[in-house]
Amino acid sequence: MTPPPLSRRGVLAGAASLGAALTPTAASAAPASAAGSGRAPKKAVVFRDVRPFGAKEAVDLTVVDGRISDGPAPRGAKVVDGGGRLALPSLVDAHIHPDKTSWGGDWVTRKPASGIAEYCAQDVELFRSQKRPVGERAYGLMAHAVTRGTRAMRAHADVAPAYGLAGLEGVAEARERLADALDVQIVGFPQHGVIRTPGTAKLLEDAARSGLVDMIGGIDPISFDHALDEQLDLVFDLADRYGVGVDIHLHDRDEKGTTVLRGIIERTRALSLRGKVTVSHVFCLPFLPDGELDTTAGDLADLDIALTTVAPNESLVLPITKLQEHGVRVGLGSDGVRDSWSPFGNADMLHRAHILGWVTDVRLDDELTSCYTVGAHGGADVMGLDRAEFKPGDPADFVLVRGECVPQVVVDMPQRDMVVHGGQVVARNGELV
């Protein structure tokens, strides 16, 4: 079914192109001594014959200790032939739930559900029915994401009395197994509610105190937890006391959503948590009048509160371009993947960039390129990672694909022939190395 034409303010129109003002350095592969020390660095690789951002002329990229170098290749550097392929920055999944997945297992027949509470009950049923532990299932999904060109992800794992900390521990186990291929931040996510489910608050504190999480989550403080101040006060207090971040799910589309968002802004300011707070989904923002959206975006930018979207449909995707114009960090994510909520999902962020373009009905080259930009640089910004733009000193996190240009790659979604993380090849032809 063809999506309706974009009828509200442009979601992506006018965003800067991915490779604007970037001139990749052609690095010589000739032997040379490492600068200064007179000895070769630990890891030096030359990726020969690649086309960053689809440049017409291929170059050689020199990587030293995981970073793009503008100097000559050190003596003894390994050479990897790129075969004239496009080199594109690896993607970042800014919002995914790997603990819930049934990926790699038997087909799950789902039952009707209406509302978060019923989905939560089915989550528990699926968790108890799985023969494979969380760590194994999460690893399978996260490894698959690597083979599709994901360099980093923010992983939400459920924290509730029904699971204890098993979800967090399983995702942490998978993160450790993939430490050389994937950067992961873990969010302790109270899917069953912070207040409405007794025992959850203590589990969140245990997770924060133990260092098991990078961030504390929350969910719809008004419409689901029915405790706006109590939930937000608890979540922000944990973040403040234990030095972790905040990432709150906000699904409300009306004034309940804007009320929660205002509460998040106020607490971020009061506790000096600037740059450490993210709000996910934020379905209320697309429905705001322009003036109110501008005011809200200004407040978010002033406190460096980041946002994430999973581009679920045309009406609920965030107005990305408008937010970015105000300086708000916006990332793109997969959300749930083959869990009790939905049979869909694949943790392929190139596919998600494609979906972003599809639901926003874009067709121009710069718009299609912007879809990739949100998936690559937007997610990196949300997670506080350096962008991978092929400039000297940038992380050598990129994918090699066959294609003509970035817009065509977004549309065609070619196989990721090679995935490079920290200058090392971690996947080839859809398989981990």
239-268 confidence digits (pLDDT tens): 999 999 999 999 999 999 999 999 999 999
How much is the pLDDT for 406? Answer: 98
Q: Shortest CA distance to 268 belongs to which of 252, 279, 283, 280?
A: 279
How much is the pLDDT for 206? Answer: 98
How much is the pLDDT for 42? Answer: 64
227-240 confidence digits (pLDDT tens): 999 999 999 999 99
106-147 confidence digits (pLDDT tens): 999 999 999 999 999 999 999 999 999 999 999 999 999 999
159-185 confidence digits (pLDDT tens): 999 999 999 999 999 999 999 999 999
| Type of residue numbered 85 | R
How much is the pLDDT for 39? Answer: 60
**For residues 21-27, average pLDDT:** 36
Cα–Cα distances (Å) from 191 to 97, 124, 163, 287, in that order, read 11, 11, 11, 25
397-431 confidence digits (pLDDT tens): 999 999 999 999 999 999 999 999 999 999 999 99
pLDDT confidence tier of residue 18, bands split at 50, 70 and 90: low
Give the integer Cα–Cα distance in Å for 215 and 159.
Answer: 12
| Type of residue numbered 301 | A
**For residues 197-214, average pLDDT:** 98
Sheet with 418-421: list strands edge to edge.
Answer: 67-69, 59-64, 44-52, 78-89, 398-401, 418-421, 424-428, 431-432
How much is the pLDDT for 204? Answer: 98
> Going by C-beta distance under 8 Å and a sequence separation of 6 or more, which residues neighbour residue 202?
none
**For residues 148-152, average pLDDT:** 98
Q: Shortest CA distance to 278 belongs to which of 306, 251, 300, 301?
A: 306
Give the integer Cα–Cα distance in Å for 65 and 45.
Answer: 9
Looking at the predicted structure, is the pLDDT value of residue 14 above 50? no
Looking at the predicted structure, is the pLDDT value of residue 151 above 90? yes
Looking at the predicted structure, is the pLDDT value of residue 28 above 90? no
For the chain, give the mean pLDDT. Answer: 92
Looking at the predicted structure, is the pLDDT value of residue 287 above 60? yes
- Block residue for tokens 């995935």: 419
pLDDT confidence tier of residue 38, bands split at 50, 70 and 90: low
Q: Which two tokens stand for residue 278?
A: 């993210």
Give the integer Cα–Cα distance in Å for 370 and 362.
Answer: 10
8 A C-beta contact, residue 273 and residue 267:
yes
Looking at the predicted structure, is the pLDDT value of residue 40 above 90? no
298-354 confidence digits (pLDDT tens): 999 999 999 999 999 999 999 999 999 999 999 999 999 999 999 999 999 999 999
350-388 confidence digits (pLDDT tens): 999 999 999 999 999 999 999 999 999 999 999 999 999
Looking at the predicted structure, is the pLDDT value of residue 23 above 90? no
How much is the pLDDT for 195? Answer: 97
Partners of 189 in the beta sheet? 158
How much is the pLDDT for 21? Answer: 35
How much is the pLDDT for 269? Answer: 98
For the packed helices 166-177 and 134-147, what is the interaxial angle rounded to 10 degrees? 40
